Structures are given as C-alpha cells and as structure tokens.
Amino acid sequence: MTKNEKFLELLGEKYPSVQAATSEIINLEAILRLPKGTEHFVSDLHGEYEAFCHIMNNKSGAIREKVDMLYDKILPENERAKFATLIYYPQQIIEEMKVHGGDNINEWYKTNLYRLVDVCRLVASKYTRSKVRKKLPAYCGYIIEELINVDRTNFNKEEYYNGIFDAIIELGRAEAYIISLATVIKNLVVDHLHIVGDIFDRGEAPEKILDMLCEQESLDIQWGNHDMLWMGAAMGQDACIANVVTISLKYGNADVLESGYGISLRELAFYADRYMSYDKHFDPSITGQKISKDDIELSAKMRKAIFFIMLKKEAQTIKRHPEYNMSPIIDRLDTENGTLEINGTKVQLNSNDFPTIDKNDPYKLTEEEERIFNGLKKSFLSSEKLRRHLDFFFEKGALYNIYNGNLIFHGCIPLDENGDYAKFKVGNVSYYGKSLMDYCEQCVRQAYVAYTAGRTNTYCLDLAWYLWCGELSPLFGKDKMTTFERVYIDDKKWHHEQKNSYYKLCQQKQWCEKLLRDFGIEGEHCHIINGHVPVKEIDGENPIKAEGKLLVIDGGFCKAYHKTTGIAGYTLIYNSHGLELAAHEPFTGIANAIKNCTDIHSRVRVFERISNRMTVAETDNGKEIYSRIDDLKELVAKYRMYECQI
C-alpha cells in the first residue's frame, strides 16, 4: 500500500461509508461560510493582574459592543453599564444583589437571565452548534442550548421558553445559570487569544496571570525578553536567576518569588543585612505601595548583594561566548577609583563600594555568595509552579507566530546600521532575519529538552540570557542594557539605550511588505504585530505605522509606564469585519469596577475595515478544512469505485 492508501484506510475507519463521508463534507463546506472567529491581541502585561483580569472579562470592549448592539434603543447607558458589569463579574454582582436587592431579587434574576440568553444567542450565532455545545458547562449545557436556539417568535414554544426560566428560579438555580451564561458569553466572544510577550516583571502578580492563561482553551504566546529571562532562570541559567531576583527586588515584588513560586529569599536577607551597607541607589521602585523605612533599607541591601552576584554570573556567561561580542561590566570596572570605562571614556561612579569583588579574581563568588546563590538556584529548579509555567511557555509559546496572515513577534528583526539584516555569527555560519529567529528558538528548545531529561545544555541555555539583553537579540532590540549605569552613574546621558534600526525602517510600508514576504506572507490584509516598546501617545506617537502594515500594541499596561505613555495599554481585536485598536485608560481596580460599574475607558479605533465580511474559508483554519474536504472527496471516490467494481 502507498502512503496515501494507508491514510485513506485510516480515514475510512472514521467515515466508513459514502453517507458518513459526504455528510462530513457538507458540514465542513458550511463551516467555511461562517464568519471568521474573533482574535484578541494583548501585549506587555508585566504582572498587572487586575487590569489583565478586566481586559479578559470585557474582551477589550467587545462584550459592551454586543450589549449596546442589543439594548442601545431599549436601556439607558447606566443600565447597559450595570448589565455589562454583571457579565464581567457575575459572582460579585449577585452577592451585592442578595444583600441590597430586597424582595425584587427573583424579578432581577429573571430579567437578567432573559438578557444574558439574548447576548449568548448573539455571540453564538457565528459558530456551529457543535462548537457552541463544547463551550457549555456539562451540568446545564442542554438547558442553555435550548434557550439560545428556541425561536421566541414561535407562539407554540413561548410557554416552554418562559417555563424554563420560572423553573430555574423556583429551584434556586438562578445564580448558577447567570454565572454559567456570563462565562459562556466571555468564552464565545473571542475565539483565540494572542499574548505578544512580557507577562513577567514590574507588576505584582505575573504568576496569577499565568494561572489564568493556563485555563484558556485557544491561545498562543510570543516570548518576550522578560519571559525569556524567567524561562532561563527556571531551567537553571545562573545569570538569568540573578537577574530575576534583582528585578523582583527592584520593583518590590519579593512576594512573587516567595509566595508565588516558593523561592525563599530568607538566606539572602540575612546575608545582605549582615554584609551590605545601605545605598539609596538600590531602593525599590514601588508604585502605590506603602513600605516602611526598615523594609526599604533591607530590600536595598538584598538587591545590592544579588547585584554583585549578577555582575559575576553575567561576566562568566559572556566569557563562554565570544560570538556574543559583549564586554563584561567587571572587565571595565575600576573598583579602587570608582570608574567605569564606556567606549574609551572613564566615567565617574557615585560609589566605589564593591565589597565582594576581588580585583585579582573579579569573576569569583565569595564563599558566602556561593552558598546563597546555590540555595537560590536549588529553589528555582525545585519550584513546582515555576516548572508548570515553564512547560506552558514551551507548549503554547514561540519566538514568533504566523496566524491568519499576520506576523506576530514581541521585539524586532535585528538590522545593522545600513538597514540590512544584522548577522549573528556562530562559527562559520551567519544567522539573520527569519533564520535568526528560527535558530534562537531551536536553541532555547534544545535547552528545554535537555532540562526535561535532567541534563544541562550550557551552550543553548546561555542563549536565554543573551535573548534577554544581547544587541542582536530579536527580543531586546537595543545596543545594550544599561542596568549598571542606571544604578551607579547619576548623569543620565550614560543611561541611553540605542534602539535597533528596525524601529526606524518599520515605519516604511515598502520595507514592512518585504519583511512579510521574507516570512512567506503576502496580501492586502497582512500585518506585522509587535509589542515590547511602549508607544508614547502622550507625545503624539502613533501605534499604527507603515500605513497600517505594522501595529505596536504595547501602550504601557504596567503602572510604571503610565506617566510616559499617557495611557494604560493597547489591545487589538481582529474580527470578521476588520481590525480595531483599543487604547485603554488606567484601570482603577476590580472593586471600583464592581461598585460603580466603571469599565476601563477605551478609545476604539477601527483602522482597517474589510469590505466583504471575512469567513472561515479565508483563515488558516479554512485552509485545513479545504484539505480535509479534498481528502474526504478522495475517500468518497474510492468508495464509489469499489461499488462499481462490485
């Protein structure tokens, strides 16, 4: 038997007759004509859990849009806001109504059950019944399916329809059905979620965001440089571990390590308090948190202690890899005179207090540093939750993704100063453009394979650190990372990090179209979608570049960016009608959203409208369906040929 004959034989086991195969062809042909599912793009979350929860609940305004579509002429704006908030936070709103609803609670249940069914019917209308059925909860799926598919204009079923609601309330199941309907609506409004990098760092709860993402049915992740840093740390890369601890302490997020991942900083705290002097330049950058003077000083000492370890671990990593073309800070540091050599210039530091750096052997950790670091590394490698999140990143993530004609990646495609693809040389081989992206991902995955087998692939694992901060890293996109300079040099001109030439050329439509072609993508409605670099809308910067061919959706989710960007993040919705970019104002908290029915105020900009509504046939899924149809038609032909022979 040929390979194709074997495949058809296996296919025949699932569709054992002409009738079965042709029925499936009819079903697939119908699916091709349905509207394209909605995609939701979110980037640079940076641990902002509450804001992310709300974006996931309101789907960047898509749910409110459905509510307005149904009730704009029926309900006033404040009532629509209340109803939308019920969909976002059903459990909390029900609890409030039970306290304040009085004798009208049953009427409130019935009214909102009717409305929720209407919205559910609307959002389910673009899918097959089979797909909707899979989204329904097992215990009440049949009832919900009946409610959203009953023809309310059918006089014969009016009593049947109303009777279901009456029975739900009389049996005390109204709360469960309201919560279930709200969940189904949120699951159906968006068909697929894209996270365009940087879940970690700065914000207070990245681990909670990841727990939430692990429950999503359909999503992909494009790794960001902050994600890669944590991935490297989870696999035991020393410089990554030291950086993760340093950044966590910088932003006052020790709880992410200790409570979130069970990584104890106790020994580091004892060591730092004993051996480190306080230096205000290591004070944590804390937004909206109250912290005592003693805690600030201890945190600064801890950060200072791990900072010196970080400098040594980074130097050791760089020395193993001349292809990185990097110069360790320690090699350019004069600890006696307190200067740092930068591009041939000796720059004065604000301190020459480097108690653990031995000028005769600057890369070597002291005995105490070795003990502290080994304990930290053991904690990283033994954290069950961190391992689970690492597995999730590799299962759902990649360096870039091509999805429905869009090229999605976090940072950039590194270019040289002439605008050509920059070449990353490994021995006699040069990687650039798409090949660089593929090489980097392959290396990181090889490090992960070794890690899961209980081994260490040092060469590949070190690349995780380079992807965090290297000049030719497609996740970083700058000439250097000035972490040391920002701490030890007061003159801010030395803090500058030069962006890669990509960020200039990506403004040009012709260049973006070339990049898309190099990745095998062409078409009127194809785009590049990036995160990573916050768009400073406050300065008039536009997230839509190159005449709409490139979109930057990092508008500053992180609270630390709000003052410089003027907003609190961009998100993108891509539905069957086109692309909508939402610019969000700062979120005032879930408690306030529930109490006052306040949403994240968003300015939605429809910047690309598709004249003929896009169908499943025009998507990647559509291509797969066409292929399945071809296979089934071949199977039908085989059956009929066999019938003729008989």
The pLDDT value recorded for residue 12 is 86
Q: What gap in Å lies between CA 527 and CA 505, rounded to an integer?
A: 15
Number of C-alpha atoms within 13 angstroms, CB side, residue 366? 15
User: Residue 560 has which token pair?
Assistant: 């630390």
Spatial separation of the C-alpha atoms in residues 502 and 381, rounded to whole Å: 36
DSSP element (H, E) containing 311: helix 293-319
| Ordered strands of the 333-334 beta sheet | 333-334, 339-342, 345-348
**pLDDT for 390:** 98
Residue 94: which of 79, 114, 77, 109 has the closest Cα? 109
How many whole angstroms separate alpha carbon 380 and alpha carbon 365? 19
Return the bridge partners of 581, or none.
572, 605
Beta partners for residue 408, in sequence order: 401, 529
- pLDDT given at position 204: 87
Dihedral angle computed from the Cα positions of residues 417, 419, 424 and 428, in that order, rounded to the nearest 10 degrees: -100
Sign for the CA dihedral angle at 449, 454, 459, 463 comes to positive
What pLDDT shows up at residue 415? 95
| C-alpha dist (Å) from residue 113 to 64, 142, 371, 548, 559 | 17, 16, 60, 41, 37
Secondary structure (DSSP) of 607-626: EEE-SS--BGGGSHHHHHHH
CA distance 101 to 105: 5
Question: Taking the chain (646 residues) in consecutive chunks of 10 residues, what is each chunk's mean pLDDT?
Answer: 79 90 92 91 90 86 89 90 92 86 83 93 90 87 84 68 86 92 92 93 92 93 97 98 97 94 96 94 78 88 97 97 95 94 94 92 96 97 97 97 96 93 94 97 98 96 98 95 95 94 93 95 91 71 86 72 61 87 71 66 64 90 94 89 69
Per-residue model confidence (pLDDT) at position 613 = 87
Q: What is the pLDDT of residue 10?
A: 87
* E strand residue ranges, 424-534: 424-426, 429-431, 527-530
* CA gap 161, 474 in Å, rounded: 56
Q: How far apart are CA 116 and CA 127, in angstroms?
A: 18
Q: Cα-atom radius of gyration of the chain, to the nearest Å?
A: 28
3-state DSSP assignment of residue 577: coil
CB 260 within 8 A of CB 391: no
- For 421, which DSSP code? B
**Strand pairing class (424-426; 527-530):** unpaired
* Alpha-carbon gap, residue 42 to 571, rounded angstroms: 5
> What tokens does 228 get?
């890669």
What does the alpha-carbon distance between residue 570 and residue 583 come to, in Å, rounded to a whole number? 5
